[in-house]
Chains A and B, each alone.
Chain A
Amino acid sequence: MIRDLVFVLLALLTVVPAFWVVFSRNIVHAGFALLFTLVGVAGMYGFLGADFLAVTQLMVYVGGVLVLVLFTVMMTHVPAAKRSRHGLDRLVPPAVFAAAVFGVLYKVITVVKWNVGEASTSPTTTEIGTQLMTNYIFPFEYVSIVLLAAMVGAAILIRERNHAGSDDAIAEEKQEARP
């Protein structure tokens, strides 16, 4: 009874703001509505006994990704007159795409035989840590290399926009900019 109630509340917390994200005319509102969806998903993880996943969801998506999304949205904010309109041409292609994705997901969820286990009561971090350092060491290291490459790439992109030349050229530019 309580379980069902919690599930419904979490589902509403996830789905209702998700609609807001899609249909809001104000893109900043859409960004903030995403907060509730992400928190709802984290709550769902916690509800399923995946406490580590729930907290990580908060840490990564709310603390990192959402802040970056909001920054980007605020930096590129357009005046009220130019806000996105909701014509049929803008509505139909995404709707078709979304329906297709939903169909595939629905099929996957119903066809796959899910291995349902008991929610563990012991600390999940120990198990996750052990698995990451033994069975899944290759994917773990692989992901870290990909992330490192992304970081280096981001640093290079910023540098190139600053000035194509060397450190001296950048220093000169700074000198010129000084009044």
Chain B
Amino acid sequence: MKLMYDFFTGQLGLDAAGANIAVASVMAVIMFTVMALCAIILTWMERKVAGFMQSRYGPMYTGRFHGWAQAVADMLKILGKEDIIPTEADKGLFKFAPILVLLGSLLAWAAIPWAPDFVAADFDLGLFYIFAVSSLVVIGILMAGWASNNKWSLYGAARGAAQMISYEIPLALAVVPVVMRAGSLNPQDIVIAQQGGIWHWNINPITNPFLFIAFFMYFIASIAETNRGPFDMPETESELVAGYHTEYTGMRFAFFFLAEYANLFLVSMIAALVFLGGWWAPFPGMGWIPPALNFIIKGVLLVFLNMWVRWTLPRVRVDQLMHLCWKVMIPVSLLCVVGAGVWMMAWGQLK
């Protein structure tokens, strides 16, 4: 970031404002490219993981080695599909909804610190901002479901929105103990506070057991937040066809798909940076590993865990989902906040 800024001010002779705008534009392009790439890689990974979980191969032929080119082929196929808009659909909203869903994810990606000096938007409210812009996704889903003018879409959208606004609460509450410990909402500061190997990460149950519980609260809530199994009621293919994106085809469907995987990786990255030490290497002697690689490996491992859960557990019912959120996870998360505070006061860990 500093290098890029210096390049724009020094080599190209831009003033501070111009250089900032230029850096932001370049970062936006990089983030969007990474996001698209990650969606392509994760779809392949999802199919392979699903295959292994269910004792079958998954894609094997495209591109010779374990069907690695399958996701690329799928993307090309999707790009070539006809763009169908239902006659009875609300055309303006129908077209705008996929953009809004993708925008919500992309905005949140901006505040993720990938390495010590590589974060698109480094500002003090980073974590709070990530949770706030994620709510655009909820609006986008509601918009898609309503504009499709289809019962399944509307049911899917209503379920999705209800689920996402409910699980946003334990999701945000689970992060609060970490914010208390680091004394900052800036993701970069939270990562820096976990310096010094695996036992300094926030997940370590010996330094603070409540943070350990908070990690699991966060993980469960993040599965529900991304509308994935066992909490995939918004898209239940056995009852709702495909939920809120039933009517979407071609590029617009690809946008939803992209947003789903972008969100999946986003919540995993947040878990990695909040609980698992972000871009720090797990052991002191491993400083030679590039920080961004550390971070991506942690994110991908959490994504794998997420996929494992998705392809192992059966879907829960809507009432079970709401029971779990309001009667179990929110009280436990609140307890974590209070408990972590008391623990930190008792052991003098407060900043």
Shortest distance from the beta carbon of B139 to any chain A beta carbon, whole Å: 6
Interface string of B116-132 (1 = CB under 8 A from A): 00000001110011011
Q: How large is the interface on B (under 10, 10 to 19, 20 to 34, 35 or more residues)?
A: 20 to 34
Q: A63-B168, A70-B142 are in contact. Are A29 and B93 (CB under 8 A)?
A: yes
- Separation of A74 and B151 alpha carbons in the complex (Å): 12
Tell me which of B90, B123, B136, B146 contacts A62 (CB under 8 A). Answer: B136
Chain A residues numbered 35-79 whose CB sits less than 8 Å from any CB in chain B: 35, 51-52, 55-56, 58-59, 62-64, 66-67, 70-71, 74
Q: Which residues of B contact A66 (CB under 8 A)?
A: 139
- Separation of A63 and B138 alpha carbons in the complex (Å): 7
Q: Which residues of A contact B124 (CB under 8 A)?
A: 51, 123-125
Is A96 an interface position by the 8 A CB rule? no
Chain B residues numbered 90-114 whose CB sits less than 8 Å from any CB in chain A: 90, 93
Tally of A-B Cβ pairs under 8 angstroms: 66
Q: Nearest chain-B residue to A38 (Cβ)?
A: B139
Report the count of interface residues on A (CB-CB < 8 A).
22
Name A's B-contacting residues (CB within 8 A): 2, 28-29, 32, 35, 51-52, 55-56, 58-59, 62-64, 66-67, 70-71, 74, 123-125
Shortest distance from the beta carbon of B121 to any chain A beta carbon, whole Å: 11
B161 near A59 with CB under 8 A, answer no
Q: Nearest chain-A residue to B154 (Cβ)?
A: A74
Is B165 an interface position by the 8 A CB rule? yes
Tell me which of B125, B154, B158 contacts A125 (CB under 8 A). Answer: B125
Tell me which of A28, A58, A125 contacts B135 (CB under 8 A). Answer: A58
- Separation of A32 and B17 alpha carbons in the complex (Å): 33
- Separation of A29 and B146 alpha carbons in the complex (Å): 10
Can you name 28 A-B pairs with beta carbons within 8 Å? A28-B90, A28-B93, A29-B93, A32-B139, A35-B139, A51-B123, A51-B125, A55-B128, A55-B129, A56-B132, A58-B132, A58-B133, A59-B131, A59-B132, A62-B136, A63-B132, A63-B165, A64-B135, A64-B165, A67-B138, A67-B161, A70-B142, A70-B146, A70-B161, A71-B142, A74-B142, A124-B124, A125-B124
- Separation of A32 and B92 alpha carbons in the complex (Å): 11
B143 near A32 with CB under 8 A, answer yes
Q: Nearest chain-B residue to A122 (Cβ)?
A: B124
Q: Which residues of B contact A70 (CB under 8 A)?
A: 139, 142, 146, 161
Q: Nearest chain-A residue to B129 (Cβ)?
A: A55
Is B217 an interface position by the 8 A CB rule? no
Q: A32-B143, A64-B165 are in contact. Are A55 and B135 (CB under 8 A)?
A: no
Smallest CB-CB A-B distances: 6 pairs: A63-B135, A58-B132, A59-B132, A123-B124, A55-B132, A55-B129
Chain B residues numbered 133-177 whose CB sits less than 8 Å from any CB in chain A: 133-136, 138-139, 142-143, 146, 154, 158, 161, 165, 168
A67 near B93 with CB under 8 A, answer no
Interface of A is mostly: helix
- Separation of A52 and B184 alpha carbons in the complex (Å): 13
B93 near A59 with CB under 8 A, answer no
Is B266 an interface position by the 8 A CB rule? no
B135 near A59 with CB under 8 A, answer yes
Q: A67-B142, A67-B165 are in contact. Are A2 and B17 (CB under 8 A)?
A: yes
A62 near B158 with CB under 8 A, answer no
Q: Which residues of A contact B138 (CB under 8 A)?
A: 63, 67
Is B49 an interface position by the 8 A CB rule? no
B185 near A62 with CB under 8 A, answer no
Q: Which residues of A contact B129 (CB under 8 A)?
A: 55, 58
- Separation of A169 and B136 alpha carbons in the complex (Å): 41
Shortest distance from the beta carbon of A173 to any chain B beta carbon, whole Å: 16
Shortest distance from the beta carbon of B159 to any chain A beta carbon, whole Å: 12
B168 near A74 with CB under 8 A, answer no
- Separation of A28 and B143 alpha carbons in the complex (Å): 9
Q: Which residues of B contact A124 (CB under 8 A)?
A: 124
- Separation of A95 and B315 alpha carbons in the complex (Å): 52
Q: Which residues of A contact B134 (CB under 8 A)?
A: 63
- Separation of A51 and B138 alpha carbons in the complex (Å): 22
- Separation of A55 and B139 alpha carbons in the complex (Å): 16
Apart from A67-B135, A71-B158, A123-B185, 7 more pairs, CB < 8 Å: A35-B139, A52-B128, A59-B128, A64-B135, A67-B138, A67-B161, A74-B142
Tell me which of A52, A59, A67, A74 contacts B139 (CB under 8 A). Answer: A67
- Separation of A145 and B235 alpha carbons in the complex (Å): 38
- Separation of A20 and B139 alpha carbons in the complex (Å): 18
Q: A52-B125, A59-B128 are in contact. Are A125 and B185 (CB under 8 A)?
A: yes
Shortest distance from the beta carbon of A70 to any chain B beta carbon, whole Å: 5
Shortest distance from the beta carbon of B120 to any chain A beta carbon, whole Å: 16
Q: Which residues of B contact A56 (CB under 8 A)?
A: 132
